[in-house]
Amino acid sequence: MSRHQADLVLCLKQPGTTVGSLCEKCDGRCPVCDSYVRPTEQVRICDECAFGQDKHRCVICGGKGVSPAYYCFECVRTEKNRDGCPRITTLGSTRMDHYYEKRK
Ligand SMILES: [Zn+2]
Ligand SMILES: [Zn+2]
Ligand SMILES: [Zn+2]
């Protein structure tokens, strides 16, 4: 169930009204635990992640989003869907920003 890269960080900001997308490759996958079993509740991303072109991107890999993302049954049951925006923020330059914020 664990992700292959240890340094992946989820956004976890307060979700807005924008539905997260998944690309063809990640379609049907839960953005929290990578499960393909029983997609249950539509994923909502925060306003920051929904800004501009980003809302059309896959929340998992940043690829071209083609279909809505869903939390799996297990993540809804354990309320992981309430943790906040599940978009991975280690894509691009945001990771360094987070790093410096923590060091201050
Ligand atoms: Zn899940
Ligand atoms: Zn976000
Ligand atoms: Zn993807």
Q: What is the dihedral of CA 94, 91, 70, 74, to 10 degrees?
A: -90
d(CA 45, CA 86): 7
Arithmetic mean of pLDDT, 82-101: 68
Q: What is the domain partition of the chain in residue ranges?
A: 15-103
Measured in Å, residue 61 CA sits from the centre of ligand 3 at: 4
pLDDT of residue 68 exceeding 60, the answer is yes
Ligand 3: centre distance to CA 1 (Å): 17
Q: List, for residues 13-60, the tens digit of each pLDDT value.
A: 999 999 999 999 999 999 999 999 999 999 999 999 998 888 899 999
Mean pLDDT, the chain, rounded, equals 85
Distance 81 CA to ligand 1 centre (A): 8
**What is the Å distance from ligand 1's center to 54 Cα?**
22
